[in-house]
Amino acid sequence: MMWENIKMAFSSLRNSKVRSFLTMLGIIIGVASVVAITAIGQGVKDSITKQVSGLGSNVLTITSGQAQTSGKGGANFAAALGTSTLTAADVATIGKLKHISGASSISLLSGILAHGTAISSDSLIVSTTPEFAKIIDQPLADGRFLADADLNAKVIVLGDKTKTDLFGTSEAVGRAVTFRGTPLTVIGVVKKKDTGGTIGASQDAISYLSKGTAKALTGTDPSILRIYAKVDSATNVDPTVGQIKGAVKKNHGGQSDFNVQTQADLLATFNTILNLLTTFIAAIASISLLVGGIGIMNIMLVNVTERTREIGLRKALGASSSTVLSQFLIEAVVISIIGGALGIVAAVGMATGAGKLAGITPAFTLNSILIAVGVSAGVGIVFGIAPAIKAARKRPIQALKAE
């Protein structure tokens, strides 16, 4: 009887194609929205994980402002938005600690890089030291990275995207770019990073100047955005965090106005935020599933009314109430599952299109697809049970007499 009921459900859908599609529409939109948002959210998490993991498990990040609080608020991210409390003395102190194999800082400079009439408006200019490339791996596509001899030299290392913006496919090393009206010679181009998308500025849009050059261009030492420190071994990361906190706190007169994070800490922070955002947006999108379920219940009630004589005839020929109930319940579930399947197909298109615009590769997981199918079937059962019960309770004689 199960197979017969399924065939009857498909026959009913074929007999009223437009109405069936409109019934499914709420399910299609709901499933498509939830699956697409989940896939994009997972894609963002994968991208960030790849970027942060690329720093290395034994790299520590020291930022200004104390992100951790003792209260119930949990975190104080706004503390990092003020003027940086990190100094060159902190970099020197960290570099001398036991188990630290290298320490370097980065600062941000505002301005636009240009070459003739070509500009790279979204380029991110960073001033740093030669030690930076020893801590954060910077494979080069051409030329070299900053060296000790470049402390005050008017040279620059371009990111792959910036190089393409300014020079296209032509060679860039040895040629000049202009920054704040000053010509800088390109000495290297960083190899394109395969991160599958990014949040904020692209890593391929980051270009590097020396600290001395940055001071000459701005007239002052730019404030330090963050300090990177490389630990000699991943097993020494945790004790070294404590050493850094103690040493920098001493530099700052006993104030803990900074934060030391491992790569696991960074990933945990990002994942917490992204999970909350993804869940919140997906919850809003899932409201359309409720609307779709109400639509299914409404149409199934109409079906029961229209097919009253059919129900009476089936019961007169020996069909039990449970058989009639399963017939209409299966029909509701079939509508929901087909709508869910179409929603998954739509989700692939939506997420892929949105991913291309945002530069992110959506990540579709088997679990999310199975959950979408399960939710679709659940909607069909929940909202189909009332019409099915109404059909099962009809008496054969009354049903056959119905006009």
Indicate the DSSP class of residue 199.
Answer: S
| CA 277 – CA 283 distance, rounded (Å) | 10
Regarding pTM above 0.85, the answer is no
Packing angle of the helix pair 17-53, 287-306 (nearest 10 deg): 160
Give the model's pLDDT for residue 38.
83
Cα 354–355–358 angle (5° rounding)? 85
Pull the structure tokens for residue 198. 């990014």
Is 83 strand, coil or helix? coil
Cα 400–401–403 angle (5° rounding)? 105
DSSP assignment of 16-68, as one string? THHHHHHHHHHHHHHHHHHHHHHHHHHHHHHHHHHHHHTT-TTEEEEEES--B
What are the pLDDT digits (tens) for 133-186?
888 888 899 999 999 999 889 999 999 999 999 999 999 999 999 998 899 999
Q: At 106, which helix (H) or strand (E)?
A: strand 100-109
**Residues contacting residue 372 through CB under 8 Å, at least 6 positions apart:** 31, 34, 35, 340, 343, 344, 347
Q: At 216, which helix (H) or strand (E)?
A: helix 211-218
- For every one of its 403 residues, what pLDDT tens digit does the chain have, with 9 covering 90 and above? 667 767 776 777 777 777 778 778 888 888 888 888 888 888 877 777 666 655 666 888 898 876 554 444 444 555 555 678 899 999 999 999 998 989 999 999 988 899 999 998 888 999 999 999 888 888 899 999 999 999 889 999 999 999 999 999 999 999 999 998 899 999 999 998 755 444 445 788 899 999 999 999 888 888 999 999 998 887 888 889 899 999 999 999 888 888 888 877 766 766 777 777 777 777 776 777 777 778 778 777 777 777 777 777 777 777 777 777 777 788 888 888 888 888 889 988 988 888 887 777 888 878 778 877 787 778 777 877 877 787 777 666 665 555 5
- Cα dihedral 129, 131, 133, 136 sign: negative
Decide: 262 and 97 in contact? Cβ < 8 Å: no
Beta bridge partners of 142: 189
| CA 119 – CA 174 distance, rounded (Å) | 18
Decide: 167 and 114 in contact? Cβ < 8 Å: no
Residue 326 exposure: Cα atoms within 13 Å on the Cβ side: 12
| CA 250 – CA 194 distance, rounded (Å) | 40
| CA 267 – CA 393 distance, rounded (Å) | 57
Packing angle of the helix pair 366-392, 17-53 (nearest 10 deg): 150
**Residues contacting residue 266 through CB under 8 Å, at least 6 positions apart:** 52, 61
Pull the structure tokens for residue 65. 């402002």
